[in-house]
């Protein structure tokens, strides 16, 4: 029989105690939607699993003066439905609502989606677009913050030490002038792994009609989600219009051509990203530029 030890701390102190004994054969699990599959595929038969899912203190979305705080154990379903997130970072709400299937979203957690560091992870681009950071606890009981960009290496790897766990995701509350949107493209409408995903956050006040401070992050086009300055430039200091949509789409295609030049998937993705461009554009500006349905 297997020699896997499962520890189920139910509070932060207990978690730290578990982390003290952690070594290279220790794995963290919460929803388990990725880990359990890897467990059987990688034929892992020994080691320790620390199950964080019993720590109720890690399941929350809170509003502070300048930031929104999400407990690492919050499920993707809870994030997609949360009012604060819908208000302050709709792109994250949209992304969380499109991860996997309903069953996966009911179990899978945001920290898991980040820690798993898949190139096509859906919650990472929205979080990166607002410079989110992660609060990490270590076996020594220290708590420190790192940006999500620092923690995610990509291609399924992160640079957390084996005695470290993500306990909170923090992102700044943007002013009312900021809007955001997320879109993904898979091989089918739902329950699909992203072939491309994208998150955009930008400043736009209907009064001045000018786009400023655009942040564009694209996923599944490299080992990890990255910022596209080309696309940001295409948006900044522009007025939303049909022409801008075309310009925006062209910039996305250009970015695909640069990022995956020569890959067999380039042929499809450089064109199909136009669909993502349209989805995002109309999510952001559907109320000012008509024609979103066609």
- Interacting residue ranges for another protein, rule: CB under 8 A: 1-2, 40, 43, 45, 101, 185, 187-193, 267-268, 271-272, 274-275, 278, 291, 293-294
**231 and 248 in contact (C-beta within 8 Å)?**
yes
Nearer to another protein, 237 or 294 (CB): 294
Q: Which residues pair with 124 in a beta bridge?
A: none
Find the shortest distance in angstroms from Cβ 25 to another protein: 16
Find the shortest distance in angstroms from Cβ 168 to another protein: 30
Nearer to another protein, 21 or 191 (CB): 191
Nearer to another protein, 233 or 271 (CB): 271
Nearer to another protein, 2 or 175 (CB): 2
Nearer to another protein, 73 or 240 (CB): 240
Output the CA torsion sign for 160, 112, 47, 18. positive
Nearer to another protein, 141 or 290 (CB): 290
Find the shortest distance in angstroms from Cβ 165 to another protein: 26
Phi, psi of 123 (to 5 degrees): -85, -15
Strand 164-172 to strand 178-185: parallel, antiparallel, or no bridges (unpaired)?
unpaired
Find the shortest distance in angstroms from Cβ 287 to another protein: 19
Structure tokens given for 15: 């978690």
Nearest to 134 by CA among 143, 123, 146: 146
Nearer to another protein, 148 or 218 (CB): 218
Give the Cα separation of 107 and 95 in Å (integer): 16
DSSP code, position 75: B
**110 and 76 in contact (C-beta within 8 Å)?**
yes
Find the shortest distance in angstroms from Cβ 249 to another protein: 9
Find the shortest distance in angstroms from Cβ 183 to another protein: 10
Find the shortest distance in angstroms from Cβ 114 to another protein: 20
**174 and 91 in contact (C-beta within 8 Å)?**
no
Find the shortest distance in angstroms from Cβ 6 to another protein: 15
188-196 contact pairs (CB < 8 A, 24+): 190/98, 190/101, 191/100, 191/101, 193/120, 194/120, 194/122, 194/219, 194/220, 195/120, 195/220, 195/265, 195/268, 195/269, 195/272, 196/220, 196/221, 196/256, 196/269, 196/272, 196/273, 196/276
Distance of CA 289 to the CA centre of its chain: 28
Nearer to another protein, 8 or 192 (CB): 192
């Amino acid at each position: 029989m297997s020699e896997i030890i499962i520890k189920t701390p139910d509070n932060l102190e207990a978690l730290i105690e578990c982390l003290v004994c952690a070594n290279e054969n220790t794995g963290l699990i919460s929803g388990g939607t990725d880990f359990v599959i890897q467990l059987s595929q990688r034929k892992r038969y020994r080691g320790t699993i620390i199950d964080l899912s019993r720590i109720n203190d890690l399941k929350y979305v809170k509003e502070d003066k300048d930031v929104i705080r999400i407990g690492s154990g919050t499920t993707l379903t809870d994030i997609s439905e949360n009012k604060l997130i819908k208000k302050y970072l709709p792109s994250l709400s949209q992304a969380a609502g499109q991860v996997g299937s309903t069953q996966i979203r009911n179990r899978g957690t945001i920290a898991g989606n980040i820690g798993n560091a898949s190139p096509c992870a859906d919650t990472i681009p929205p979080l990166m677009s607002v410079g989110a950071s992660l609060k990490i606890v270590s076996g020594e009981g220290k708590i420190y913050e790192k940006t999500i960009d620092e923690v995610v290496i990509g291609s399924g790897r992160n640079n957390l030490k084996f005695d470290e766990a993500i306990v909170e995701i923090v992102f700044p509350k943007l002013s009312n002038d900021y809007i955001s949107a997320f879109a993904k493209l898979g091989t089918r409408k739902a329950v699909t792994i992203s072939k491309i995903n994208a998150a955009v956050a930008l400043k736009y006040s209907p009064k001045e009609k000018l786009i400023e401070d655009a942040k564009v992050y694209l996923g599944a086009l490299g080992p990890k989600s990255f910022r596209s300055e080309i696309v940001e430039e295409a948006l900044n200091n522009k007025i939303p219009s049909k022409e801008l949509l075309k310009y925006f789409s062209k910039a996305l295609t250009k970015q695909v051509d640069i990022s995956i030049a020569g890959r067999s998937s380039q042929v499809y993705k450089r064109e199909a990203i136009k669909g993502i461009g349209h989805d995002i554009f109309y999510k952001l500006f559907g109320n000012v530029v008509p024609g979103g349905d066609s």
